[in-house]
Structures are given as C-alpha cells and as structure tokens.
Amino acid sequence: MIVTGLQGQPPADHPHGYPFLASVRDNVLACAKHFVGDGGTYKGINEGNAICSPDDLERIHTKPYPDCIAQGVATVMASYSQWNGEPLHASRHLLTDVLKGKLGFEGFVVSDWEGIDRLCEPRGSDYRYCVAQSVNAGMDMIMIPHRFEKFLEDLVFLVETGEISMSRIDDAVERILRVKFISGVFEHPFSDPSLLDVVGCKEHRLLAREAVRKSLVLLKNGKKQSETFLPLAK
C-alpha cells in the first residue's frame, strides 16, 4: 500500500486514525485523495457530480479510506466534485460526520487548489461565503495559491462575528499541529542537503524507465486495419 510505502509501517498498537510517520528523515507524509466519489461522477465528468445512494457511496467510493486511515495516513484531500449535488468542499456530513466521526480520522483535511472558490458562481466572487462553508464543513487547511490576505481577513471576520466558532478553529489547529509534530518539522525544518545528489540520479532514472517499460499497455486499434475503433464516429 502506498501509504505505508511513504510513511512507514505503523506498529500493531498504533492508535486508530492517528497520523503516523516512522522516520522524520526517511519517510514523508501521505495524502489520501480525493474524498470522496470523484471517480464515480455522472458520465465520468471531471469535477462532476457522483449520483448514488449513501450505501453505494460507502460500499464503492469510501471503501479505500478506512484502510488508509488504519495505516495512519496523515492528511486527506477533499474532492472538487459533488455528491448528489452537494460540493464535497462544503459537505459537513461527509467531512466531519463520516470522515472524522465514523471513520475516526485524526489527521487534517486539506482543500484542493482553489477548491473553496468553486463553492460560488462566478468562482470566488463571494469569498467570505466560500470560507465559511468550507471551514464549517470541517476543512482544516485551505490550499490558497494567491489570495491568502483576503482569506485571512475573511476568516478573522467570520470568527469575530461568530459565524465560525472558536471550537472549529481549535479543532483545525489541533489537527494541523498534530501532523506537524509527528512530521518533525519543528525539530528539522529543512530537508537534508546531503541527499541532493540522490535527486534525479542515474540509478533512479534507470529505475523510472524500467517501471515505464513494464507498465506500458499497447492497445490494438480495432480488429483489423480496415475497421479501426478510433477515431470514433461522430
């Protein structure tokens, strides 16, 4: 499992749902994504809408997450997509009740790139609304590539007016600090410069090429050359 490959194997008595990192030097934090149902959207549309019952959502789309959480995955990223019309970035039921509650996830939930902007149309036009909806849904860390000053301004306003409770802020901060503590970032804020020569080294590039060769799949375009499958007929 890739979570164990990145973070290391947690011991048998590791607390369920608690983030784990075997070594702050030899391992890295994993992120399970995208929660949840992004692979089951209507007609396979990217950032689309997964239309299914709660039972099917749990049986099919949520199925990989309990295993990731049992392995101590540190972070989970919310999906751009929707479930029965509700954006995942604003779903308190799925982020808080299911992921943090029922599944017992103790790490932090992070948004996708400008994910909260998609909670209104035009995107980001009512940013304060987007911030309130996502944070109150259970989003702990927001991925903001550009407008972080605006986010801070709106978040402070929403807390001061009581639209976002201090208990919600405390929960997010606790979860983020929990992951930072186990990551060793306070003791070792920088990566090991002695490993620079390993990045992109010849041995790694050869291994990458071997992985590509062994994983490529050659498809035949139709049963015979005169009856090709592609391009598709209009």
- CA triple 106-111-116, angle to 5 deg: 135
Q: Is 117 a catalytic residue?
A: no
Q: Which domains does the chain have, with CATH numbers?
A: 2-183 (3.20.20.300)
User: Which of 4, 34, 32 is CA-nearest to residue 20?
Assistant: 4
The DSSP code for 218 is -
The mean pLDDT values, 10 residues at a time, for the chain of 234 residues are: 94 97 94 97 95 97 97 98 98 98 98 97 96 98 95 98 98 98 94 88 96 92 85 82
Distance CA 175, CA 152 (A): 19
Q: What is the pLDDT of residue 225?
A: 83
Query: pLDDT tens for residues 20-68?
Result: 999 998 899 999 999 999 999 999 999 999 999 999 999 999 999 999 9
Per-residue 3-state assignment (H helix, E strand, C coil) for 10-79: CCCCCCCCCCCCCCCCCCCCCEEEEECCHHHCHHHCCCCEECCCHHHHHHHHCCHHHHHHHCCCCEEEEC
Catalytic residue among 26, 56, 112, 171: 112
Q: What is the pLDDT of residue 228?
A: 86
